[in-house]
Amino acid sequence: MSTRPVRMGTINKESDPMDQSRDPGTSAPSLRNLQILEAVATGARPMTATEINAGLQLPKPTIHRLVANLEQEGYLSRHLDGRSYLPGPKLRAMMLGVMRAGHHHLPRREVLTRLNEALGETCNLSIPDGDAMIYVDRVETHWPLRIALKVGSRVPLHATSAGKAALAQMSEAALTRFLSKARLTAHTDRTITDPQVLRAEIQRIREQGYSTDEQEFVPGMIAVAVPVLDPSGGFCATLSFHAPVQRLTVEAGLNHLPAMRQAAADLAELI
């Protein structure tokens, strides 16, 4: 039997530390970081380092070091509870960039275009971005009288139909945390600024499955929104339209709910 020491070059594949196909714990640091960001970006709620690590199975010191580095670099943000993490500004910018690049994604664009043609008003797709919603795609109305909110615009959660639709998808615990910390700034004299009144409004939205904005964000503008859910029922985005009150009332706008819900279902199939 040979007594020569085993050299690195003779280690078999099963124990080769460079083989990254078997154990995520042996992945290169760059891949580990991507896996962490993927877990946080696809999570339905803030996640602790332990929860992020559930599918990665990295050593505890490693996951905490990587998460801390990603937070320091701005890819992750610490949640209000001080223990869990959300996408940070850099990761949110990356996510927005991907959505903007998908501006030319024809199937999604076709859904918005069809809805725009059916309603005759500006139709928007938006996603949560920290304490706001951000427009990632839109098809403008052909009418000269319109509200100018471009792709990339950030709008408040509490004062818009898109934002309130997103709040309605939060768990009760998450909504409570939001209401306890959020600054409910008045944008018009119709903006809801009382946390308890907003909570009651969110409960109504949960029950009815849609949200409205009756001049709560911009004077003279109404809007209606529905959630876009992925195949497993997870919240992805909001689909909304807005119009000037000179052309449409909220009550008349609710007649478009069947078309909006169909469009949201069509968008869900593309996710």
Taking only the tens place, the pLDDT of each residue in 198-209 is: 999 999 999 999
Across the strands, what pairs with 213? 223
Tokens of 3: 């007594």
Q: Rounded mean pLDDT of the chain?
A: 81
* Nearest-5° Cα angle at 217, 126 to 228: 25
Q: What is the pLDDT of residue 96?
A: 64
Q: What CATH number labels 92-270? A: 3.30.450.40
The answer to whether residue 23 scores a pLDDT higher than 70 is no
Domain 11-87 has CATH 1.10.10.10: yes
Task: Give DSSP secondary structure letters for 215-259.
Answer: SSSSTTEEEEEEEEE-TTS-EEEEEEEEEETTT--HHHHGGGHHH
Helix (H, G, I), strand (E, B) or coil at 139: strand
261 falls in which pLDDT band (50, 70, 90)? Answer: very high
Alpha helices in the chain (DSSP H): 29-42, 49-52, 60-72, 89-101, 106-119, 161-167, 172-181, 195-208, 250-253, 257-270
Taking only the tens place, the pLDDT of each residue in 148-180 is: 666 667 889 999 999 999 999 998 988 998 999
Q: What is the pLDDT of residue 271?
A: 65
3-27 core/surface letters (b: 16 or more CB in 10 A; e: else): eeeeeeeeeeeeeeeeeeeeeeeeb
- The whole-angstrom separation of Cα 73 and Cα 26 is 23
Taking only the tens place, the pLDDT of each residue in 60-103 is: 898 999 999 898 888 888 876 778 888 887 777 776 666 555 54
- Enumerate the domain spans of the chain: 11-87, 92-270
Q: Which of residues 121 and 146 earns the better pLDDT score?
A: 121
Whole-structure pTM value: 0.65
